[in-house]
Structure 1
Amino acid sequence: AEYLRLPHSLALIRLRNPPVNALSLAVVNGIREGLQKAMSDHTIKAIVVCGANDKFCAGADISSFSRSSPGISFGVVVDEIQRYEKPVVAAIRGVALGGGLELALGCHYRIAHAEARVGLPEVALGILPGARGTQLLPRLIGVPMSLDLITSGRPVGADEALKLGILDVVINSDPVEEAVKFSQEILDKPLEPRRLLNKSVPSLPNMDSIFSEAFAKVQKQYPGFLAPETSIQALQAAVNLPYKLGIKEEEKLALYLQKSGQARALQYVFFAESSVHKQSPPSVASWQTASPQPISSVGVLGLGTMGRGIAMCFAKAGIPVVAVESDPKQLEIAKKAVTSMLEREASKMQQSGRAWTKPTLTFSSSADMLCESGRFGQKTGKGWYQYDKPLGRVHRPDPWLSEFLSQYRETHHLESRSISQEEILERCLYSLINEGFRILGEGIAASPEQIDIIYLSGYGWPRYRGGPMFYAATVGLPVVLEKLQKYYTQNPDVPQLEPSDYLKKLAAHGNPPPKDWQSLAGPPGSKL
């Protein structure tokens, strides 16, 4: 942060940490040093705080979250600003997000450009506003709106922030110039009414129900996420405790979230989302340099009009075709049509071979038996469970199923055993993760981040778990490898459980983070 003396007995503290003036340890120390310099200089009457490059501050430096930084906490700096006997005015341009807004809340006045945005988006990173945000904001704008802004993390524009009371002045000109003029106008005004830490949270008669509704809302909107609910607990502390005790509760809850696996996962996702679009294809392959691969055979699913045409095209090109059609009637129609087309083609040109078909599916009599007994699931009230009524949702165990399974085991000489939830999860998830390592080793995926973002965006993997490859690193690569080896030994007919060579290479290095995998395992063997 830069410290400048201005005319009219004013000082300017400008945050400078491109590109968004993030609050690194050096920036926080610079802010504090500048404020102390201004306070000790009797010729300085007021201080303006702003950011360089048309941005106030986008919050804490996320890359430093996992490191314990020595020195004073930023929350203490925010409190010191409020207690200063000289007015401190925040001049906001661009964004004031997270710690940037907390810094502004510590200032006695807040002036912003009309296009500025402010907010506390920490929940998206699995944490809460831990530098007094949960304690100061409700003292300024009340509990209901604080709950909305903090649990959703949504930023608001300057006009809305002005209506809410977060900002004091919104202008279309330079906020620094306006803050300089404004500072001269408020020199004689008392600062005590502007110190949020000495205020109480505005009381409401239905406060308990407000918090109950807030808990219910976030549990429905963000199931499984810790940060929204924990933020509500911090806001409850602002209501129920004096400020000094409230900030201690905020610090305790912030530490709990910071140490949680969710915070690490969500911060990993934040960086992964911003990095995947910059990544090159694996092995520097591109459509300009990739060579076509030979096609040895083709499978066609469905033998409707389009499927028959596709099968014919490849057959005419001399490429073996395997076509699958589940409808026997449609299969017969297709066989006649394809045979007729091939015979016509054969009369025009020499054709090696002929279209042959054979059944490729094995059928179980159990399926026929279940259908014949009317066990179609919920719609008939009978399936794996018994239901209270057709299309009902209340289910209970079905004695018939137990008897059927017992007879089936006896007929096929099978021994029953209990399968724990842990084993079910491991066999499902680790086989998925194993395939991820395979495509990394084959050069199909450029990075573990690519795989994770695909599963987060398209397959419903919870964001707070970080993605399957991040989850593997959380569990530990040696653990994943050991479990896969165990399950593959027990089930040698399941190739998905055979550990990939790429996983073995990485596990030999212990449990490296995903960002180091490619450098440790070497370049992938791209097939492109």
Structure 2
Amino acid sequence: MSSSVSVANENGVAVVTIDNPPVNALSFHVRKPLYDALAALRDDPAARAIVIVCAGRTFVAGADITEFGKPIEQPELRAIVALLETIAKPTVAAIHGTALGGGLELALGCHFRVADAGAKLGLPEVKLGLLPGGGGTVRLPRLVGALKALGMIVSGTPISAGEAIAAGLADAVVDSNLLAEAIRFAREMADRGGPFVPVRDRDDRLAETDLAAFDAQAAGLAKKARGLEAPLACAEAVRNAITLPFDEALAAERLLFQKLVSGDQSRAQRHLFFAEREAAKVPGKDLQKRRIERVGIIGAGTMGGGIAMAFANGSLPVTLLETSEEALRRGLATIEKNYAVSVSRGSLTEEAKQQRLGLFKGSTDYADLAGCDLIVEAVFEDMTVKKEVFGKLDAIAKPGAILATNTSYLDVNEIAASTSRPEDVLGMHFFSPANVMKLLEIVRAERTAPEVLATVADLARRIGKVAVVVGVCHGFVGNRMLAARGSENEFLLLEGATPSQVDKALVDFGWPMGPFQMGDLAGLDIGWRNRKARGQTAVIADTLCEQGHFGQKTGRGWYRYESGSREPVTDSEVEALIRAKAAELGIGQREVGADEIIERTLYPLVNEGAKILEEGIAARASDIDVVWVNGYGFPIGKGGPMFWAALEGGPRIVERLEHWHRQTGRPIFEPAPALRRVAETRAWEGAGAR
């Protein structure tokens, strides 16, 4: 019928094949011939049953996201599903790979679903700031029950084929020959005879729903939403499936979808979806990537151990090097303990734990790194120490091995220059805990070979990281901007704000926690040590550290922590210290509002991002957004600092920065040239390096 949809008759069973690589998205050029094929087959006496299957590596993995927010060409998915539900003969979705979003909604339009044992099924629209817009919130509860559907839709997490058949979402699971088995199943259903009841008319599971239990579960999920609209809308739509007739619930779902798709939060989350895919791209179509089969990690401390786990989690053998047997044993014991915690939580099986532990080889001899294809240094953040390590690596690493430093701040060019092979050197800045945090800043030094960048970017995806390629400067993208965000924190306190007021303003904005609570969690001694190394001071934080108040680990920092609790409690002594320091410095205190706190912390953050673009440290504004959402907790519903800045409006940010520059005289508030260009054009495109 078309290049994307074809029909074949297999002894009375019509097989409709969708072929729209790479993921068989339901674009218009798929929907139109699919609708026409199903309309023709509905009344075709030669077809006793219909099987919908997909070519390539997956079933339909979703809608065409590029169409969201635009006028949809007809027929849309809802019309195809409605057409399926008018077909009296048995219809079967043959699912392999992933049936996600619109793909699962298409399958829900069929009478039956036969899945390959390795298939995943889910409705992940919430991760794009949306809810399922093709009837998923109304049909899924009719198969799996309202509580199960609520959990699947609000989390957006796919379930396995085994879970699907247990829940009632799949009717059969097969280990091989999916299409043949789906045809056999369809023929068997046709022989058995109808009537075949569409999912829309199956109300038994809904009738079983305990509405009070549903509302309690929905309330718990709402608490976790942290200002995101989509999870709440998803819960509302599933509740409508319980309380409203089918067509009314379907219409309500559509209204909720339209409201979300036109809103800033979904625009922000869709922006991030594409930004993550763009961030790790390395120019050059025909770059020959190097093979990475064994990884070496130098340092088995918190960072080194976490990095080693990240590679083992990606099924890569790891040689873990330490300076002493005691340090090595301690590091390996921590790794085993971390995996044991995952087993106790049910996120890892005992078998998988043992498999991962089997990938580790401990050593105290640099010679044992000679066979590694990638070696990551994760030692103390000191240039002399790191250059000494790279000198040793230069002597023992095999030709073509990639040498990476996990530095958070230091000059990767200087580190690379300490070797005879600077083209093989780059930065791999993991975020702690490295086995959990998604972000990886790949730091491009002046002489890093393009194929080295491409190899590491590809490897990052292999170990489940979101990679962003950045240039060399102090702190790269993330930590450089973090310094800008925190530059006013103590000034805000000295002028009259309290730590809890600053933290509340940032949490209300959407951050998981504020800067002072985060400081207590990380340990105030870390920042103290860094300041001393750079000849800097922070009058209040330094005093707290001199008193031995390092945060949660000592029970006191910016807050008190009672009896080992992680819950911060306002500390009146800290507030008294702030007032005393303000008096010593002759600073009059006043009321500081939430708006001022946001302007004096987040506008400098954006301004530093503009400088980073100006200098070419980041290639795109969207790269900065990916860094901040995945590494620092910037609210996902705001799309990252640069996307949010565009919504705020460049002119407003420039005007307020100039205001605070006049008030304080501090250079942090001097608008960057790139930000001024945004103020003129209202767009980031072209605002970067000139």
| Range into which the TM-score falls when normalised by the shorter chain | 0.7 to 0.9
- Would the aligned equivalents of 1:114 and 1:159 in 2 still touch at CA under 8 Å? yes
* Residues 12 and 47, structure 1, Cα contact 8 Å, conserved in 2: yes
Contact 2:613 2:687 in 1 (8 A): no
Rounded to whole Å, the distance in 1 between the matches of 2:558 and 2:227 is: 28
Aligned match of 1:521: 687
Does the CA contact (< 8 Å) of 2:129 and 2:266 recur in 1? yes
Identify the residue that residue 655 of structure 2 maps to in structure 1: 482
Equivalents in 2 of 1:248, 1:483: separation in Å? 44
The separation in 1 between residues aligned to 2:86 and 2:569, in whole angstroms, is 60
Structure 2 residue 34 is the aligned partner of structure 1 residue 31: yes
Contact 2:89/2:196 (<8 A) preserved = no
1:65 aligns with 2:36: no
SS in structure 1 of the partner of residue 51 of structure 2? strand
**Match 2:608 to one of 435, 456, 460:** 435
Kept after mapping to 1: 8 A contact 2:119/2:160: yes
In structure 1, give the amino acid aligned to 2:49. A
Cα distance in 1, alignment partners of residues 528 and 443 from structure 2: 38
Structure 1 position 237, deviation (Å): 0.4
* 1-structure distance, mates of 2:282, 2:153: 33
Cα separation, 2, equivalents of 1:366 and 1:45: 76
2:93 alignment partner in structure 1: 90
Distance of 2:443 and 2:559 partners within structure 1:
48
What is the aligned partner in structure 1 of residue 679 from structure 2?
A: 507
Q: Which residue in 1 is equivalent to 2:448? A: 287
Is contact 1:132-1:247 (8 Å) kept?
A: yes
The aligned counterpart of 1:243 is: 246
- In structure 2, the CA distance between the partners of 1:386 and 1:278, relative to structure 1 (3 Å rule), is closer
TM-score (norm 2): 0.57
In the other structure, the counterpart of 2:489 is none
Task: State the Cα distance separating 1:378 from its structure 2 match.
Answer: 12
Q: Give the CA deviation at 1:288.
A: 5.1
- Residue of structure 2 in register with 1:145 after alignment: 148
Alpha-carbon distance, 1:282 to partner: 10
Alpha carbons of structure 1 residues 261 and 365: separation in structure 2 relative to 1, 3 Å: closer
Deviations 1:263-307 (A, max 9, x none): 111111112222212145999954359xxx9x9xxxxxxxxxxxx
SS at match of 1:231: helix
Q: Partners of 1:144 and 1:129 in 2: how far apart?
A: 16
Q: How far does residue 432 in structure 1 lie from its aligned partner after superposition?
A: 0.6
CA deviation vs aligned residue, 1:188-234 (integer Å, no higher than 9, x gap): 44544531111215256772332232223323444222222211111
Change (3 A) 1:377 1:443: closer
Corresponding position of 1:352: none
1:300-319 map, 5 Å: none
Q: What SS does the corresponding residue of 1:202 show, helix, strand or coil?
A: helix
Deviations 1:104-158 (A, max 9, x none): 1101111121122111111111111111111111111111211221111111221
Distance 1:408 1:105, change over 3 A: closer
| Counterpart selection for 1:113 from 112, 116, 119 | 116
Q: Among residues 498, 504, 507, which one is paired with 2:670 in the alignment?
A: 498
- 2:618 aligned with 1:445: yes
Amino acid at match of 1:498: E
Tell me the residue number matched to 1:183. 186
Is the CA contact (8 Å cut-off) linking 1:283 and 1:443 kept in structure 2?
no
Residue of structure 2 aligned with 1:269, choices 251, 254, 272? 272
The one-letter amino acid of 2:687's match is: A
The residue number in structure 1 matching 2:106 is 103
- Residues in 1 aligned to 2:222 and 2:104: alpha-carbon distance in whole angstroms: 26
Helix, strand or coil at the partner of 2:190 = coil
**Greater CA drift, 38-47 or 114-123:** 38-47
Question: Are the aligned partners of 1:23 and 1:61 in contact in 2 as well (CA < 8 Å)?
Answer: yes
Equivalent pair of 2:126/2:231 in contact (CA under 8 Å): yes
CA contact under 8 A between 2:265 and 2:638: conserved in structure 1? yes
Structure 2 SS opposite 1:194:
coil
- Distance in structure 2 (CA, Å) of the matches to 1:366 and 1:491: 21
**Residue 128 of structure 1 is aligned with which of 131, 137, 141?**
131
Within 2, Cα distance between the matches of 1:363 and 1:21?
55
State the distance in 2 between where 1:435 and 1:76 align: 48
CA RMSD of aligned residues (A): 4.1
Q: Structure 1 164/377 Cα, relative in aligned 2: closer, same or farther at 3 Å? A: closer
CA distance, structure 2, for counterparts of residue 178 and residue 200 of structure 1? 28
Q: Does 1:55 align with 2:221?
A: no
| Residue of structure 1 equivalent to 2:9 | 6
**Deviation readout 1:57-113 (Å, 9 max, x if unpaired):** 101111211322132431232122012122221111211111101101101111121
Secondary structure of the 1:96 match is: strand
Query: What is the aligned-residue identity percentage?
Result: 35
SS at match of 1:187: helix
Query: What displacement does 1:384 show?
Result: 10
Identify the match of residue 174 of structure 1 among 173, 177, 195.
Answer: 177
> Is the alpha carbon distance of 1:211 and 1:438 closer, same or farther for their aligned partners in structure 2, counting shifts above 3 Å?
same
- Matches of 2:605 and 2:540 in 1, distance apart? 31
Change (3 A) 1:177 1:495: same
| Structure 2 CA distance for partners of 1:255 and 1:190, relative to 1, 3 Å | farther
**How far off is 1:393 after superposition?**
6.9
**Superposition deviation, residue 35 in structure 1:** 0.6
Residue 354 (structure 1) aligns with = none
Deviation at 1:450, TM superposition (A): 2.3
Listed as ranges, the gaps of 5+ residues in structure 1 are: 296-324, 332-359
Distance 1:170 1:386 in 2: 54
Q: CA deviation at 1:54?
A: 3.6
Structure whose alpha-carbon radius of gyration is higher: 1
